[in-house]
């Protein structure tokens, strides 16, 4: 192990490694949360512009995703079909109006033959029009479904691309400090301005006002619900607009035949009505709709949190506080609903007056000509019908304001989400470029070039931590690493950045292991976050083992589902995904498929083929009845080559992180992690349970360690990954890790961990770290405490 550096604060000699601790005087030249800040700014600005005209370009940006994406021809075909059908159905509506006119005229004139002729005409029109109308509805529904499916998939992919979900959650969390405190909303831009000055201008939950700090509230709701509503409203309003234009043109012709002045009057009448409606209600309705979406999502989120943390809340007897919090969020929802009702009542009053006037006006204008015998009685009703149709067309905003407001709010929310995710195309394009470099050209140089950029988690520059992979490296290299907490929008409540490490350099070699220690909150986990690329604020370089992803497999699953990994991170909280027991054991690669690309991110960075352990041969193994259908989908595992004496299990495990491990391999690994009876106990590998509540924390940690042993990475990071285990189990597991993982870094507090590590990295505070061999550290501790090691 090696390092570079100056003097240690104690002045003692280092062992094989030194730590440089230069600047301890704040965050000086270190850029803080730059990348997060830019996303946040976009989120804020997008949330702030709520006028209908400002929303239109955003709506078009969203709509373009489908109409110019891979499915563009299907999209345009659907659009053309529904517009053509809208035109046809409108034409039939005009014909129906003529048939109705003939009806009325024949009835009023007691013309029996004319009446039956009108009935015949009416029936013929209906026979053709009815199937057309229903076909129109079918095509429209298909359009909505296809559009929604496409947009949801794109958003979901982007959400998981470049760990956007993590960065968004970080911003959301940090802005949610004091989530239940009422906040003044006046500064939050037009969207949070109360329409009535009462409750709408009152308390706003922090999740809603996430835009204040740049956070995006409830991304899940945006992806699940807002996309659906956005698509439905877009289709329905666009078609309404098309139909209105057609019907306006068609009925203007009809009305022009009756009275030209009536047509002119109609246009002026509708223009005044639209202006008054938008001015009085437009912005208010959009604001309220936006707020309603956010607060309903807040309410649901608070209930989901209770479900997820049921046991902790029950232990704390914290249900009282949680009830109050949930009810206060319900109050927020009800407050917005009450505002919406109030404004809807005013809006209804206005539209009623307006539409009753619409009934009266044409009769008032045409009746004198009827009385003078200039026109027939049927012309009056036809003029009224045509007038009402043109009015409906021209009053599209007046009549659809609620839906338009909803669409505007959904557009804002989706636009902000996409901005926070850094767009939909960039991340995917970067991924494709890497795949192409690795899969296609085959040249080591190009692969190495791709590898060099593989781990770069944010645009280069002096103010972010640079990360790269080296296929020949078997350990870890940190070069002049400086780490600071995300500040501003990405940090806690916009607080100033905290310096956690400065000018930290070290090199960890194969066979070496590092224990990171220090007081709580000093930055141990954050160091791992920086190494994993979750945090980028700071400077310096992290070099990790790993190569470019291998070429696509036949099943389209991509290289991500094959081969073992180079780097594996075990976080502090074991994650139990939804799914059966097999999924828990093979996470993160268990579900990797054509869509998701597998564990190429922090949990598993690919190990080059040359670095795989020998003995990964593929004899098929049979599955026991208890293992259910798992054997069929399990990839073959091989024996031999393991120094632990568990030849079968180790070889089987070697392919686990690559997406294939036999059920026998899993059983053997369960044995290794002291969970020999787990499969028996829960009823099989295919059983689905709520694993976070069914397994104890220690059991969850053992499952997480199983994943690590299965992956057999070149380098592993364990963040308090054995904190819930008893000493002997911890010792046994570290024994296995030492044998199967070339090099590892642990974060922990317990002194027993010392015996499983060759070196200790101690945080001294203020960004200063010190490296010792384990023995030296132990001696120093003993001297400091007066106890013998």
What is the binding site for ligand ATP (CB under 6 A)?
170, 174, 485-486, 491-492, 498, 500, 518, 520-526
Looking at the Cβ atoms of 492 and 687, the one nearer to ligand ATP is: 492
Looking at the Cβ atoms of 295 and 498, the one nearer to ligand ATP is: 498
Q: Please say whether the beta carbons of 744 and 513 come within 8 A.
A: yes
Two tokens, residue 261: 């002045």
Looking at the Cβ atoms of 106 and 504, the one nearer to ligand ATP is: 504
Type and span of the H or E element at 653: helix 647-654
Q: What angle do CA 441, 445, 447 make, to 5 degrees?
A: 55
Looking at the Cβ atoms of 69 and 494, the one nearer to ligand ATP is: 494
Alpha carbon 442 to chain centroid distance?
34
Two tokens, residue 697: 């924390």
Looking at the Cβ atoms of 42 and 517, the one nearer to ligand ATP is: 517
Q: Closest separation between CB of residue 766 and ligand ATP, Å?
A: 12
Q: Distance (Å, rounded) from C-alpha 754 to C-alpha 775?
A: 9
Q: Distance (Å, rounded) from C-alpha 731 to C-alpha 415?
A: 51
Looking at the Cβ atoms of 88 and 492, the one nearer to ligand ATP is: 492
Strand order in the sheet with 476-484: 2-3, 499-508, 476-484, 538-545, 466-470
Q: Closest separation between CB of residue 450 and ligand ATP, Å?
A: 31
Going by C-alpha positions, the residue among 585, 589, 611 that lies closest to residue 599 is 589
Label residue 558 left, alpha or beta by phi (over 0 means left) and psi (-120 to 50 means alpha). Answer: left
Q: Is the peptide bond before 496 cis (omega within 30 degrees of 0)?
A: no
Looking at the Cβ atoms of 206 and 662, the one nearer to ligand ATP is: 206
Q: Closest separation between CB of residue 572 and ligand ATP, Å?
A: 7
Residue position matching structure tokens 């290794």: 672
Looking at the Cβ atoms of 37 and 491, the one nearer to ligand ATP is: 491
Alpha carbons within 13 A on the beta-carbon side of 774 = 15
Strand order in the sheet with 513-517: 605-606, 565-570, 715-719, 743-747, 513-517, 759-765, 768-773
Q: Closest separation between CB of residue 26 and ligand ATP, Å?
A: 15
Q: Distance (Å, rounded) from C-alpha 446 to C-alpha 646?
A: 39
Residue position matching structure tokens 């036809």: 382
Looking at the Cβ atoms of 13 and 520, the one nearer to ligand ATP is: 520
Q: Closest separation between CB of residue 709 and ligand ATP, Å?
A: 24
- Going from the C-alpha of 520 to that of each of 524, 698, 720, 764, 773, the distances in angstroms are 8, 21, 12, 11, 22
Q: Closest separation between CB of residue 526 and ligand ATP, Å?
A: 3
- Going from the C-alpha of 157 to that of each of 552, 590, 628, the distances in angstroms are 18, 18, 31
Q: What angle do CA 439, 444, 448 make, to 5 degrees?
A: 85
Q: Distance (Å, rounded) from C-alpha 206 to C-alpha 180?
A: 7
Q: Closest separation between CB of residue 330 and ligand ATP, Å?
A: 29
Looking at the Cβ atoms of 186 and 496, the one nearer to ligand ATP is: 496
Looking at the Cβ atoms of 114 and 493, the one nearer to ligand ATP is: 493
Alpha carbon 687 to chain centroid distance?
28
Looking at the Cβ atoms of 274 and 526, the one nearer to ligand ATP is: 526
Q: Please say whether the beta carbons of 483 and 538 come within 8 A.
A: yes
Looking at the Cβ atoms of 174 and 692, the one nearer to ligand ATP is: 174
Q: Closest separation between CB of residue 408 and ligand ATP, Å?
A: 32
Looking at the Cβ atoms of 132 and 492, the one nearer to ligand ATP is: 492
Long-range contacts of 664-669 (CB under 8 A, 24+ apart): 664/621, 664/622, 664/623, 664/624, 664/637, 665/621, 665/634, 665/637, 665/710, 666/582, 666/585, 666/586, 666/706, 666/710, 667/624, 667/627, 669/585, 669/706, 669/709, 669/710
Q: Distance (Å, rounded) from C-alpha 404 to C-alpha 395?
A: 13
Q: Distance (Å, rounded) from C-alpha 606 to C-alpha 701?
A: 23
Q: Please say whether the beta carbons of 125 and 96 come within 8 A.
A: yes
Looking at the Cβ atoms of 450 and 464, the one nearer to ligand ATP is: 464
């Amino acid at each position: 192990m090696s390092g570079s550096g100056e003097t240690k604060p104690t002045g003692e000699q280092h062992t094989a490694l030194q730590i440089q601790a230069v600047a301890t005087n704040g965050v000086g030249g270190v850029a803080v949360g730059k990348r997060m800040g830019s996303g946040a700014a976009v989120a804020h600005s997008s949330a702030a512009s709520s006028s209908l005209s400002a929303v239109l370009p955003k709506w078009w940006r969203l709509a373009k995703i489908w109409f110019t994406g891979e499915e563009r021809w299907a999209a345009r075909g659907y659009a053309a079909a529904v517009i053509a059908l809208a035109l046809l159905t409108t034409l039939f509506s005009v014909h129906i109006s003529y048939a109705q006119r003939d009806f009325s005229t024949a009835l009023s004139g007691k013309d029996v033959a004319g009446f039956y002729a009108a009935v015949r005409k009416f029936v013929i029109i209906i026979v053709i029009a009815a199937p057309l109308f229903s076909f129109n509805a079918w095509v429209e529904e298909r359009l909505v479904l296809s559009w929604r499916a496409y947009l949801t998939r794109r958003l979901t992919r982007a959400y998981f691309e470049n760990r956007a979900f993590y960065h968004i959650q970080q911003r959301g969390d940090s802005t949610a400090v004091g989530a239940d405190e009422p906040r003044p909303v006046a500064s939050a831009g037009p969207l949070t301005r109360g329409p009535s000055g009462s409750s709408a201008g009152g308390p706003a939950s922090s999740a809603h006002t996430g835009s204040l700090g740049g956070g995006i509230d409830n991304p899940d709701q945006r992806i699940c619900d807002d996309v659906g509503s956005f698509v439905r409203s877009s289709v329905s309003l666009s078609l309404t607009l098309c139909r209105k234009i057609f019907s306006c043109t068609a009925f203007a012709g009809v009305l022009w035949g009756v009275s030209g002045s009536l047509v002119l009057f109609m246009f002026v009448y509708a223009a005044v009505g639209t202006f008054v409606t938008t001015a009085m209600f437009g912005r208010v309705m959009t604001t309220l709709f936006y707020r309603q979406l956010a607060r309903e999502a807040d309410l649901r989120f608070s209930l989901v949190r209770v479900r997820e943390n049921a046991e902790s809340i029950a232990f704390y007897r914290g249900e009282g506080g949680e009830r109050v919090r949930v009810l206060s969020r319900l109050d927020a929802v009800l407050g917005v609903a009450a505002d919406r009702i109030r404004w809807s009542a005013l809006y209804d009053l206005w539209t009623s007056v307006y539409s009753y006037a619409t009934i009266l006006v044409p009769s008032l204008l045409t009746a004198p000509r009827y009385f003078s015998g200039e026109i027939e009685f049927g012309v009056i009703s036809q003029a009224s019908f045509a007038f009402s149709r043109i009015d409906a067309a021209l009053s599209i905003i007046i009549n659809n304001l609620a839906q338009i407001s909803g669409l505007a709010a959904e557009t804002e929310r989706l636009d902000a989400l996409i901005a926070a995710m850094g767009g939909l195309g960039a991340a995917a394009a970067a991924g494709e470029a890497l795949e192409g470099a690795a899969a296609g050209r085959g040249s080591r140089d190009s692969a190495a070039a791709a590898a060099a950029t593989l781990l770069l988690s944010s645009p280069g520059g002096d103010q972010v931590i640079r990360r790269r992979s080296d296929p020949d490296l078997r350990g870890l290299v940190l070069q002049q690493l400086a780490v600071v907490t995300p500040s501003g929008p990405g940090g806690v409540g916009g607080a100033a950045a905290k310096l956690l490490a400065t000018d930290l350099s070290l090199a960890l070699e194969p066979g070496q292991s590092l224990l990171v220690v220090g007081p709580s909150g000093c930055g141990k986990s954050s160091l791992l976050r920086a190494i994993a690329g979750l945090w980028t604020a700071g400077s310096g370089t992290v070099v990790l083992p790993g190569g470019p992803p291998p070429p696509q497999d036949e099943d389209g699953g991509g290289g991500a589902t094959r081969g073992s990994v180079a780097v594996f991170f075990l976080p502090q909280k074991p994650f139990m995904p939804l799914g059966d027991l097999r999924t828990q054991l093979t996470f993160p690669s268990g579900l990797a498929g054509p869509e998701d690309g597998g564990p190429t991110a922090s949990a598993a960075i690919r190990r080059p083929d040359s670095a795989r352990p020998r003995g990964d041969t593929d004899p098929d193994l049979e599955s026991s009845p208890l293992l259910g259908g798992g054997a069929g989908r399990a990839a073959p595992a091989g024996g031999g080559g393991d120094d632990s004496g568990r030849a079968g299990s180790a070889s089987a495990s070697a392919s686990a992180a690559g997406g294939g491990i036999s059920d026998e391999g899993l059983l053997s690994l369960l044995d290794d992690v002291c969970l020999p009876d787990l499969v028996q106990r829960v009823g099989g590998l295919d059983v689905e349970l709520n694993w976070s509540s069914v397994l104890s924390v220690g059991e969850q940690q053992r499952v997480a360690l199983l994943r690590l042993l299965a992956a057999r990475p070149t380098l592993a990071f364990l963040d308090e990954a054995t904190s819930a285990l008893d000493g002997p189990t911890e010792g046994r597991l570290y024994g296995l890790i030492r044998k199967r993982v070339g090099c590892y870094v642990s974060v922990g507090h317990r002194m027993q961990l010392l015996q499983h590590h060759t070196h200790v990295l101690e945080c001294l505070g203020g960004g200063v770290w010190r490296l010792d061999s384990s023995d030296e550290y132990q001696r120093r501790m003993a001297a400091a405490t007066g106890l013998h090691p």
